[in-house]
């Protein structure tokens, strides 16, 4: 087997490991193991550690990849015909997705890692994309002008944590989001 084929295989293994790790740690949090990731990815534990020397490094890579994917989704919505719907739908998506992201973040902290470097940059990229969606929604008159990104992001984080840690059923989550969205809507006079 040539060097090029091995690199293709190595990239495929890395991608599969990241896919499986996101699912495993997203469901299992700190209790999940790299051994389970290796087994479900169809590779040996040595292969996992060849790509990711520690569990924390693996989890950091999973988090970066997740933030990058969410940022790309937000950026894709910047051309949406209805900027208000794009903003509110993405806000709703982030809240629904929060339990998995929080489980991965908690697993990272439990593995002795922290959200730093590349993960902070990726998180900031997501934040900027949410800010761009917010600005477009405000220009379209769908979000009040005095709502700035720090406040909107605080609401997003609060709703995400509440939905993730309180195991809100869909109906309660949707009603809570409706209240938040009513507060973000421009005042009608």
What is the tally of structural domains in the chain?
1
Q: Is the model's pLDDT at 3 over the cut of 70?
A: no
Counted residue by residue, the chain has a size of 189
Q: Is 83 inside a domain boundary?
A: yes
Residue 19 lies in a domain: no
Q: What is the pLDDT of residues 34-59, one digit of tens each?
A: 999 999 999 999 999 999 999 999 99
Identify whether 170 is part of a domain.
yes
Query: What is the domain-level CATH number for residue 91?
Result: 1.10.357.10
**Residue 41 domain-assigned (yes or no):** no
At residue 119, does pLDDT exceed 70?
Answer: yes
SS (H, E, C) 75-133: HHHHHCCCHHHHHHHHHHHHHHHHHHHHHHHHHHHHCCCCCCCHHHHHHHHHHHHHHHH
In this predicted structure, what is the pLDDT of residue 35? 93
35 assigned to some structural domain:
no
Q: Per-residue pLDDT averaged across 118-140, rounded?
A: 95
- The lowest-confidence range among 10-14, 59-63, 177-181 is 10-14
Q: Residue 79 falls within a domain, yes or no?
A: yes
**Which range marks the domain in which residue 125 is found?**
55-184
Q: Does residue 109 fall inside a structural domain?
A: yes
| Residue 10 lies inside a defined structural domain of this protein | no
pLDDT digits (tens, 9 = 90+) for 58-109: 999 999 999 999 999 999 999 999 999 999 999 999 998 888 888 888 888 8
**Does pTM surpass 0.75?**
yes
Structural tokens at position 5: 């084929």
Half-sphere exposure of 44 toward its Cβ, with a 13 Å CA cutoff?
3
- What pLDDT, on the 0 to 100 scale, is given for residue 6? 53
Q: State the pLDDT at residue 166.
A: 66
Q: How many CB atoms lie within 10 A of CB 41?
A: 20
């Amino acid at each position: 087997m040539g060097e090029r084929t091995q690199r293709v295989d190595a990239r495929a293994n890395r991608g599969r490991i990241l896919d499986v790790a996101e699912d495993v740690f997203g469901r299992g949090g700190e209790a999940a193991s790299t051994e389970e990731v290796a087994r479900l990815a169809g590779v040996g534990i040595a292969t996992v550690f060849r790509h990711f020397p520690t569990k924390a490094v693996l989890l950091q890579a999973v988090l970066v990849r997740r933030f990058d994917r969410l940022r790309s989704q937000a950026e894709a919505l910047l051309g949406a015909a209805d900027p208000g719907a794009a903003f509110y739908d993405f806000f709703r998506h982030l809240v629904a997705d929060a339990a998995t992201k929080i489980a991965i973040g908690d697993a990272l902290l439990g593995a002795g890692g922290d959200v730093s470097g590349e993960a902070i940059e990726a998180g900031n990229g997501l934040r900027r994309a949410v800010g761009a969606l917010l600005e477009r929604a405000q220009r379209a008159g769908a979000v009040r002008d005095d709502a700035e990104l720090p406040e909107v992001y605080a609401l997003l984080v609060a709703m995400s944590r509440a939905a993730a840690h309180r195991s809100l059923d869909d109906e309660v989550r949707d009603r809570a989001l409706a209240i938040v969205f009513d507060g973000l809507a421009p005042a009608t006079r």
